[in-house]
Structure 1
Amino acid sequence: MLSQQDNEILTRVGPGTPMGEVLRRYWTPALLSSELPGPDCDPVRVRLLGENLVAFRDTNGRIGLIQENCPHRGASLYFGRNEECGLRCPYHGWKFDADGACVDMPSEPPSSSFKDRVRARAYPVHESGGIAWTYMGPAETITPFRDFGTESLPEKNHLATKLQSYCNWIQTMEGNVDTAHISWLHSWDGAADIEDDGSDKPGYPSNKMTWKFWMHDRAPQLEIEETWYGFRYAGLRETPNGHTNVRITEYVFPYSTIIAAVPYNTRHLMVVPIDDNNCWRYNFEATVPSNPQGHGGAPLFSFGPFETPFTRRVGGITPRNYLAEADYNIDREVQRTTTFSGVKDFVSQDLMVTESMGPIYDRSQERLGTIDKAIIRMRNQLIRSAKSLEENSDAPLLALSGPDADFRKIRGADKILEEGEDWRYLGTDDDPAVQEAEEALRASEERSPQPAAGD
């Protein structure tokens, strides 16, 4: 359990809060690039870390992210005119550029220099991988953009989505680093009867066999390895044939996870706080997918009694069709006879349990077990960093640097181990599966026709 004081530190993210100040030191998704489809398009409201902002794409295609309330009299700039490289307030015509500078003040005398002394609060924006990222920390502490692989990702492979969750961000994060819940919340009766297709042996199992493993061993053992960027942990399960299946999930401080998948995975599930009571679940590809048949621990095809719109991912904002006010469309007869949860949509099963805790759960009431090791580790890293930053403004934070600080090499993985095989090399550059996939990708790029000069 946590003390109420530590629970407050963990969950509160607004300006001036210890955790809010930590999160502002990292480049953070502000919105999808597709939400601003072209120059001078309609502006978009953005609420991020408890701040109300407006995003707009100017005439040159540059994205501005500025305070929503006009510095003049507080009217919402969301209703402003996006024109000629600036957002113009509808109240008195004051115009602000992407840097927050007031570039026109037509309601003041032409001789006035007042506009040169007025600015809107603005945050820098960097587009990468289909996401517009921002840095909300002090200007003097800004860090280089953390490239998870999106900087060199071809635009045709950009696939970024987001889905809103109506609860505190930590509740969603705790589900992401909880490998045990898949054996319960996401289980269905037919998984136990899946026939062995020959892949229950050392090596890489089929996706459908992983469902069987989750059902067969519902009390996994957890092992954790601390890393320069956070930690990675293994969920070890015994398979029906007596082998050891390992699912390796990455935690990238402060709010990103890479969930286990066969043979490995680079897709991020990043939880971004809207405010204390709401968050966005961003999914984005960081590299060209190595495995088109499975991501995030759930098969991309329909297998079992689950809907799969969330797996057939398309770019954009994912609509919520399963909501608390409708009890997440739970079917009690299905719950009695077919699935453990009675909720048909896979992701909505997660939303049901995390949102049902209330907007901010009081962790002083909980009782944790051995399956919660990764959750405890994540909380400890976050709280320790928040307290350190509060005590010393120059305190180093996790995941800003490291001896080999290459964020492109962080990968989740899933495999059945050989006798005596150490799971820790899986998903690293030493993993033959990684080497084989990257060699195949290089060969594919070499075979691709290059554009002719002048094209």
Structure 2
Amino acid sequence: MSRAHAEVRRYGVLKAEDNEILTRVGPGTLMGELLRRYWTPACLSEEIPAPGSPPARVRLLGEKLVAFRDTTGRIGLMQENCPHRGASLYYGRNEDAALRCVYHGWAYDTEGRCVDMPSEPAPFCEKVRMRAYPVHESGGIVWAYLGPRETMTPFRDFGTDELEQENWSATKQVTDCNWVQAMEGNIDTAHISHLHQWDGIDDIPDDGSDKPGYPSNAMSWKFWRHDRAPRLELDDTWYGYRYAGIRTTPNGNTHVRITAYVVPYTTMVASIPWNQRQGLFIPMDDERTARYSFATKVPENVQGYGGANLFAAAPFSTPISRGRRAGVIKREYTAGNDYQIDREVQRTATFSGVADFVSQDFMVTESMGPIYDRTQEQLGSTDKAITRMRHLLISAAKGLAAGKEPPAVGTGLDFRSIFGAEKILEPGEDWRVLATLEDPTFAEAFDASRRHQHA
């Protein structure tokens, strides 16, 4: 048995009790308590866009909440049901720096304190307080900390706190399956050689970039199709891990796609030359996931290749829709319409028959059922990154219950230094240094970017 297969067997197929730990996120569960120790996206800023705007429903880690931006601009995130008689504050009036329940007029500020109860002849506001959570707005996302106040750690800044709005973008889309199930697709480099393939790739001419260095996006697609059984190498880090999907190109070169996984729910998928676009898979509850994507403007390759996201702007025409979108994205391709699968297109043009790129992922992960029984799996060597992620999460959840500090929290951690990357390696080049300050090309671009920001 190969070392890769041995490790998959060690960390891979889960016992039923470990699958329960991995997938259950409500209050009091092992994983739910772990996730509550991290700053977590609650909603997009645009869902509560202006002072005094209507509140938004938030389903997060199995809790029913409501978010609002009060008339002074402060953001509150609190339980949805009024503590008086339980009416939903989603229907409340956003006025007078508070959210007022329309049932009896009780009003609550962003800290969850009752500040007015006009229905009572002798108000007892000081005795009424709602469950409310600290929030931090950054990068177009309202983040929340749902853990104990005494354990709250600094916000994990991936580079959005100091940027102007034109330098970041954020989206959100809901998928009907468990959060780990949804996230596994983003750290699975093998599936891009199958699920996302289309026959027109064969007609893309060789543009000369199949050589050591940064290939074009078009040639990268050809590499995925040419070598459909990537070899995986994984490097553990303080935040989780980076791993390389290694493929041989038509010209016999070594092509690597490097994806970063940041505990507990953050992925940075490979892109040319490097990428900091994050896919975040946030459990609304055990069976629904809010899939966030946000990106900052990354340092441009001073040797001439910009840091564009591969799926946002491929420089060639394909029958797969990958249009650049922003905000809350409504689903057009769902299980209810069979993801608009076209069997003739599947037979003659694309591998999946589904036109929308992300919806191809939704199709396969949602078709597993709301929570897949992982005791049934038969895993292979290309599942190494997935099994390591599961191992990290389950170990961290059990460790927290035993009194250990969760990984990747605390002060002095530089989350802005984490990047995915993609390249054809030079002879003897180590993929682990790509898109780090040990990489001369990246270091030069990073330094130039910092000088530009502070000019």
TM-score, length of structure 2 as denominator length: 0.93
1:33 alignment partner in structure 2: 45
Corresponding letter in the other structure for 1:258: M
Distance 1:148 1:37 in 2: 22
Contact 1:259-1:296 within 8 A present in 2 as well: no
Within the candidate set 143, 156, 159, 1:133 is matched to 143
Report if the CA contact (8 A) 1:124-1:134 is conserved: yes
CA distance in 2, matches of 1:86, 1:181: 48
**Distance in 1 (alpha carbons) for counterparts of 2:278 and 2:441:** 19
- Residue of structure 2 equivalent to 1:342: 353
Report what 2:10 is aligned to.
none
Task: Look up the match of 1:94.
Answer: 106
Residue number in structure 2 paired with 1:257: 267
Aligned to 2:406: 397
CA contact under 8 A between 2:202 and 2:222: conserved in structure 1? Answer: yes
Instruction: Tell me the number of residue pairs that the alignment of Structure 1 and Structure 2 aligns.
Output: 439
Aligned pairs (5 A) from 1:9-88: 9-88=21-100
Aligned-pair distance for 1:299?
Answer: 4.1
1:382 and 2:382 are equivalent in the alignment = no
CA–CA distance in 2 between the matches of 1:55 and 1:166? 22
Identify the residue that residue 307 of structure 1 maps to in structure 2. Answer: 321
| Letter paired with 2:211 | K
**Residue 225 of structure 2 corresponds to which residue in structure 1?**
215
1:414 aligns with 2:422: yes
Which whole-Å deviations, capped at 9, do the CAs of 1:326-353 have from their partners, x for residues lacking one?
A: 1111111111111111111111111100
Letter in 1 for 2:160: T
CA shift, 1:194, in A, is 2.1
**3-state SS of 1:161 partner:** strand
Superposed CA RMSD:
1.5
Whole-Å separation in 2 of the counterparts to 1:67 and 1:301: 46
CA distance in 1, matches of 2:336, 2:143: 32
CA shift, 1:436, in A, is 3.0
Larger displacement relative to structure 2 (191-200 or 281-290): 281-290
Does the CA contact (< 8 Å) of 1:153 and 1:288 recur in 2? no
1:59 Cα deviation after fit = 1.4
Match of 1:368 in 2: 379
Change (3 A) 1:175 1:18: same
- Is the contact between residue 232 and residue 243 of structure 2 (CA under 8 Å) also seen in structure 1? yes
Aligned to 2:283: 273
Please tell me the residue identity of whatever aligns with 2:318: G
Amino acid at match of 2:309: H
CA distance in 1, matches of 2:192, 2:356: 14
Alignment match, 1:452: none
In structure 2, C-alpha distance between the alignment counterparts of 1:17 and 1:286, rounded to whole Å = 33
Structure 2: runs of 5+ lacking an equivalent: 1-12
Please tell me whether the aligned partners of residues 275 and 298 of structure 2 are also in contact (alpha carbons under 8 angstroms): no
Q: Which residue does 2:166 correspond to in 1?
A: 156
Contact 2:43 2:142 in 1 (8 A): yes
User: In structure 2, how many angstroms separate the alpha carbons of the residues matched to 1:135 and 1:129?
Assistant: 16
CA-CA distance at 1:233 after TM superposition: 0.3
State the shift of 1:413 in Å.
0.3
Q: CA deviation at 1:401?
A: 4.1
Note closer, same or farther for the CA distance 1:277–1:63 as it changes in structure 2 (3 Å cut).
same
Task: Pick the aligned partner of 1:241 from 251, 275, 291.
Answer: 251
State the one-letter code of the partner of 1:355: E
Amino acid at match of 1:325: G
In the alignment, the residues of structure 2 paired with residue 16 and residue 145 of structure 1 have an alpha-carbon distance, to the nearest angstrom, of: 23
Other-structure match for 1:324? 335
SS in 2 for 1:52: strand
Measure, in 2, the Cα distance between the counterparts of 1:263 and 1:23.
Answer: 32
The corresponding residue for 1:354 is 365
Q: State the Cα distance separating 1:313 from its structure 2 match.
A: 2.7
**Residue by residue, what CA displacement relative to the aligned partner does 1:250-286 show, whole Å, maximum 9, x if unpaired?**
0000000000001100111101011111001101114
Q: Which moved more, 1:426-435 or 1:199-208?
A: 426-435
Secondary structure of residue in 2 paired with 1:236: strand
Q: Distance in 1 between matches of 2:215 and 2:297?
A: 23
**What residue in structure 1 maps to residue 7 of structure 2?**
none
Counterpart code for 1:305: P
Runs of 5+ unmatched residues, structure 1: 448-455
Q: Conserved in 2, the CA contact under 8 Å of 1:258 and 1:296? A: no
Bigger Cα displacement from structure 2, 413-422 vs 151-160: 151-160
| Secondary structure of the corresponding residue to residue 172 of structure 1 | helix
Whichever residue aligns with residue 364 of structure 1, its letter is T
In structure 2, how many angstroms separate the alpha carbons of the residues matched to 1:293 and 1:258? 13
Once the two structures are superposed, the pairs formed by residues 286-305 of structure 1 within 5 Å of their partners are 286-288=296-298, 290=300, 294-295=308-309, 299-305=313-319
Amino acid at match of 2:443: Q
**How far apart, in 2, do the equivalents of 1:155 and 1:367 lie?**
45
Residue 121 of structure 1 aligns with which residue?
A: 131
Deviation at 1:298, TM superposition (A): 6.2
Query: How far did residue 296 of structure 1 move?
Result: 5.1
Cα deviations across residues 368-419 of structure 1 (Å, max 9, x unaligned)?
00000000000000001111122x2x311111148x6200000000000011
> TM-score normalized by structure 1?
0.93
Aligned partners of 2:187, 2:224: CA distance in 1, in Å?
16
Spell out, residue by residue over 1:307-330, the C-alpha distance to the aligned partner (whole angstroms, 9 max, x if none).
122xx133x101111111111111
Distance 1:442 1:428 in 2: 15
Counterpart of 1:85 in structure 2: which amino acid? Answer: A
Q: Secondary structure at the residue paired with 2:284?
A: strand
